Amino acid sequence: MTHDTQALVLDFGGVISRTLFETHALTEEALSLPRGTLTWRGPFDLASDPLWRDMQADKLSERDYWMARTREVGALVGERWEKMETFVQRARGADPEAAIRPEALAAIEAARRAGCRLAILSNELDLFYGADFRKRLPFMSAFDVVVDATHTGILKPDARAYQQCLDQLGLPADACVFVDDQLRNIAGAQRVGLRTVHFDVMHPGASYAQALSMLGVSSSLSS
């Protein structure tokens, strides 16, 4: 069904912001580490990251993976880090805009110009990035709705998380396209009737182009 008003609903980490794998140079600069200190690249270079390969083989959870990296990087700066948000906030705090995907900014602007509503549905936006992080990002003012489980306590893929976002948008599920890099969250969205794009961090432009196409929005992003 086609609706007069549609919405683009985005996850934040990995979708709007680049992954920590992609921003090693920024992390090293923020933490005053020598360039090239961080060599693990996860899905971007499997050979460089045996721990990521173990996670993919279900030998450890993704949360365990990131806690290991958090402790490792904390040790490099002589500190004991026991929360991933410490890693994220220290790595991204100096220049938050540098971690934002240009493809995200282009897609947000294209959707806005086409009259689509915009929403963020995140499990840990303020928890991982810090409460003042989004205040330092000018593009955040384009969003009509931000639903963050840091404050609601309801995490994707719980159906109530998506419904909260839909209720605040005032739109039915099939009027929205939801974009997330975690397959379990995509599956949860599909269960409530959202149209979805499983975001590929290796090809962000193509993922955004697909989402915009589903909304009938033209863009210059590569498909």
End-to-end CA distance of the chain: 24
- Residue 186 shares a structural domain with residue 106: yes
CB 157 within 8 A of CB 128: no
In-domain check, residue 2: no
> In terms of domains, do 85 and 109 share one?
no
pLDDT digits (tens, 9 = 90+) for 166-217: 999 999 999 999 999 999 899 999 999 999 999 999 999 999 999 999 999 9
As for how many domains the chain has, the answer is: 2
* Amino acid symbol at 117: R
Give CA separation, 2 vs 136, 139, 168, 214, 215, in Å: 35, 27, 20, 11, 9
Residue 154 lies inside a defined structural domain of this protein: yes
Q: Are residues 70 and 112 in the same domain?
A: no
Q: Are residues 180 and 75 in the same domain?
A: no
- Please count the other Cβ atoms lying within 10 Å of the Cβ belonging to residue 222: 11
Domain ranges, residue 56: 24-96
Shared-domain flag, residues 122 and 58? no
Q: What is the pLDDT along the chain (223 residues), one digit of tens a residue?
A: 556 899 999 999 999 999 999 999 999 999 999 999 999 999 999 999 999 999 889 898 888 999 999 999 999 999 999 998 999 999 987 788 999 999 999 999 999 999 999 999 999 899 888 888 888 899 999 999 999 999 999 999 999 999 999 999 999 999 999 999 999 899 999 999 999 999 999 999 999 999 999 999 988 886 5
Q: Are residues 184 and 120 part of one domain?
A: yes
What phi, psi does 36 have (nearest 5°)?
90, 5
Write down the residue that tokens 């210059």 correspond to.
Answer: 220
Beta strands 7-10 and 176-180 are: parallel
Judgement on whether residues 135 and 182 belong to the same structural domain of the protein: yes
Do 108 and 85 lie in one domain? The reply is: no
List the CATH number of the domain containing 173. 3.40.50.1000
Quickly count: other Cβ atoms within 10 Å of residue 61's Cβ. 10
**104: which 2 tokens?**
């995200």
Sequence-ordered alpha helix ranges (H) in 159-203: 159-169, 183-191
| 112 and 87 in a common domain | no
Burial 141-180 (b: 16+ CB within 10 A, else e): eebebbbbbbeeeeebbbeebbebbbeebebebebbbbbb
Specify which residues 121 forms β-bridges with: 147
Integer Cα distance of 94 and 88 in angstroms = 11
